[in-house]
């Protein structure tokens, strides 16, 4: 991605202030960039464009390939798509890298040795945003995780560790509960890890992982995780490091890249000249490395460290006694520019690899698998007879299928028929599992016929999920109690 022409968006809230600061610094440091400025975010949304970006600006993004973006405000309420998510997915920016580093003793933190990087999967998981209300009580959000997307982000995390001289990669998932989606993520991590024997690894269940990140972040080096967990833990890590105002973030794919701050548009402090521009400056430095200007990134990061150790601090990190001067965004920018060319005396100076190449990932070819349809889960909206599962189970006795039989009914994932517990609370959202009577392949036409019988019995079908075996192994979750 060697380029001098980048796309820039000034964003919303504190966006214009911190982007102005960042561009001034890039120019003063000799980055020698040309900027195509595009309008995105709140103004575009409120003008009636629910995507938050015009078609013309999409073309500019695609032509320039590299995007430096200030935070934007997504108006609350329905009807607006998240532009951040749309850009990441449309441009294939599968990896979100968020370094969270302590600037102790100049920025207050309980963890002076904290120096970790979160590598977050950026396109999949619950961020597909596919949601449906299925009964008047129950709403569904689909969690979609692909084998190739998972392998890509895990390989990226290991390659990032190698390229940046990091020694340990931790995987975080919730595979004790989501045994198939998160289970596949964990297994892929274990498989890929074997190819990197010089890097040590471990795995944390995300809840204890997040707790350890808050109470003992110095134990972590690189963390790789799924999209939602990564979003949450990177805010925790940035805050624990000292301030959400300090962290930068890259969103990188094979052909495009976007760089930003970790934080949002901070409307509470917008227009007051008090925002810390360091997060976006750090994001811009990640961009400079990506486009082959690591020397300029090094110069800016050393000037940033020098400014911080000189005690010139914005309000979010200012501490009486520790800081020398409380400054606004503009004065902080001026102080940093004055220090370009200096190296810090207390902090270890930043030394980047000037020959670093962008990371390219190739995923393993897919194995041939034999996929067999062996049954179906039929989801129902059924509200009758005090939601008594025995009544529903008995109704199915009159519903005939030549090749399939009812195995069980579950409610919110717990088996309630046969042999349910009377104390289990039931909603009006039921899953009825039918499999082949002879334990062999079921023709799809039988599934359609079964649905038609259920419909004729006046039971409302919400949807079906086919049950498959891959290489003779059941590829669906069993219910609690099944
Ligand atoms: P936020 O990150 O904007 O603010 C959280 C808190 O941190 C606020 O108190 C804020 O004043 C403070 N803060 C944030 N950045 C700071 C900085 N640079 N200097 C000093 N203090 C700073 O989170 P939020 O309030 O939850 O979200 C506000 C808006 O930002 C929402 O519309 C949200 O959708 C959007 N958002 C955008 C992005 C993005 O564009 N990438 C990311 C997150 C949130």
Q: Find the 262 Cα to ligand 1 centroid distance in Å.
A: 8
Q: What is the pLDDT of residue 86?
A: 84
5-338, CATH topology level: Isopropylmalate Dehydrogenase (3.40.718)
Mean pLDDT of the chain: 93
Which range among 330-339, 346-355, 395-404 shows the weakest confidence by mean pLDDT?
395-404
Ligand 1, residue 277: give the atom nearest the CA.
18
Ligand 1, residue 235: give the atom nearest the CA.
2
Tokens of 391: 């009544």
Report the alpha-carbon angle 243-246-247, nearest 5: 110
Whether the pLDDT of residue 241 is over 70: the answer is yes
CATH number of 371-474: 3.30.70.1570
* Confidence bin at 313 (pLDDT 50/70/90): very high
Q: Is the dihedral of CA 285, 103, 273, 53 positive or negative?
A: positive
Ligand 1, residue 72: give the atom nearest the CA.
40
Tokens of 244: 């959400």
Q: What is the DSSP string of 381-431?
A: E---GGG-HHHHHHHHHTS--SSEEEEEEEETTEEEETT--TTS---SEEE
**Separation of CA 432 from chain center:** 33
Q: CA Rg, the chain, in Å?
A: 26
Tell me which residue has its CA closest to atom 10 in ligand 1.
Answer: 266
Where do you find CATH 3.40.718.10 in the chain?
5-338
Where do you find CATH 3.30.70.1570 in the chain?
371-474
Whether the pLDDT of residue 45 is over 90: the answer is no
Instruction: List pLDDT tens digits, range 378-436.
Output: 999 999 989 999 999 999 888 877 788 999 999 999 999 998 898 899 999 999 999 98
- Where would I find the H helices in 225-352? 227-241, 278-290, 294-309, 329-338
> Is 101:107 a contact under the CB 8 Å cutoff?
no
**Separation of CA 357 from chain center:** 24
Tell me which residue has its CA closest to atom 41 in ligand 1.
Answer: 71
Q: Which residues line ligand 1 (CB under 6 A)?
A: 14, 71-74, 84, 244-245, 260, 263-269, 275-276, 279, 316
Tell me which residue has its CA closest to atom 27 in ligand 1.
Answer: 264
Mean pLDDT value of segment 252-263: 94
Tokens of 223: 């963390």
> Is 222:198 a contact under the CB 8 Å cutoff?
no
* Confidence bin at 370 (pLDDT 50/70/90): very high
Q: Find the 303 Cα to ligand 1 centroid distance in Å.
A: 25
CA distance 147 to 283: 29
């Amino acid at each position: 991605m060697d380029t001098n022409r980048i796309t820039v968006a000034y964003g919303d809230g504190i966006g214009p202030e911190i982007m102005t600061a960042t561009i001034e610094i890039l120019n003063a440091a000799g980055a020698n960039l040309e900027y195509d400025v595009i309008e995105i975010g709140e103004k575009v949304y409120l003008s009636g464009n629910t995507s938050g970006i015009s078609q013309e600006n999409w073309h500019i993004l695609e032509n320039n390939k590299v995007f430096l973006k200030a935070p934007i405000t997504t108006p609350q309420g329905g009807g607006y798509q998240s532009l951040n998510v749309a850009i990441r997915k449309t441009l294939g920016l599968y990896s979100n890298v968020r370094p969270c580093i302590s600037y102790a003793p100049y920025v207050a933190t309980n963890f002076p040795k904290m120096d970790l990087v979160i590598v977050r999967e950026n396109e999949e998981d619950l961020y597909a945003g596919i949601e449906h209300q299925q009964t008047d009580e129950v709403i569904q959000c689909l969690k979609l995780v692909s084998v190739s997307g998972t392998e890509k982000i895990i390989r990226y995390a290991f390659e990032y560790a190698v390229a940046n001289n990091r020694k340990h990669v931790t995987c975080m998932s919730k595979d004790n509960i989501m045994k198939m989606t998160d289970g596949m993520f964990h297994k892929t991590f274990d498989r890929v890890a074997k190819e990197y024997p010089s890097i040590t690894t471990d795995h944390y269940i995300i809840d204890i992982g997040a707790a350890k990140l808050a109470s003992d972040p110095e134990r972590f080096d690189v963390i790789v995780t799924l999209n939602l967990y990564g979003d949450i833990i990177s805010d925790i890590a940035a805050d624990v490091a000292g301030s959400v105002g300090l962290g930068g973030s890259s969103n990188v794919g094979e052909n495009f890249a976007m760089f930003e701050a970790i934080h949002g548009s901070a409307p509470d402090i917008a227009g007051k000249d008090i925002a810390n521009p360091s997060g976006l400056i750090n994001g811009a430095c990640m961009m400079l490395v990506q486009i082959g200007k690591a020397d300029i990134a090094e110069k800016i990061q050393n000037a940033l460290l020098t400014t911080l150790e000189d005690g010139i601090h914005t309000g979010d990190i200012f501490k009486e006694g520790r800081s020398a001067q409380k400054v606004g965004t503009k004065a902080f920018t001026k102080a940093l520019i004055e220090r370009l060319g200096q190296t810090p005396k207390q902090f270890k100076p930043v030394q980047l690899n000037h020959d670093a190449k962008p990371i390219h990932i190739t995923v393993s070819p897919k194995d041939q698998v034999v996929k067999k349809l062996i049954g179906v889960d039929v989801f129902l909206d059924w509200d009758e007879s005090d939601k008594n599962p025995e009544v529903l189970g008995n109704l199915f006795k009159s519903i005939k299928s030549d090749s399939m039989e009812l195995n069980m009914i579950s409610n919110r994932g717990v088996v309630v028929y046969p042999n349910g517990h009377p104390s289990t609370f039931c909603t009006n959202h039921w899953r009825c599992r039918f499999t082949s009577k002879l334990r062999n392949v079921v023709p799809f036409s039988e599934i359609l016929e079964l649905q038609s019988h259920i419909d004729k019995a006046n039971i409302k079908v919400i949807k079906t999920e086919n049950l498959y075996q891959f290489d003779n192994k059941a590829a669906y979750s069993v219910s609690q109690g099944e």
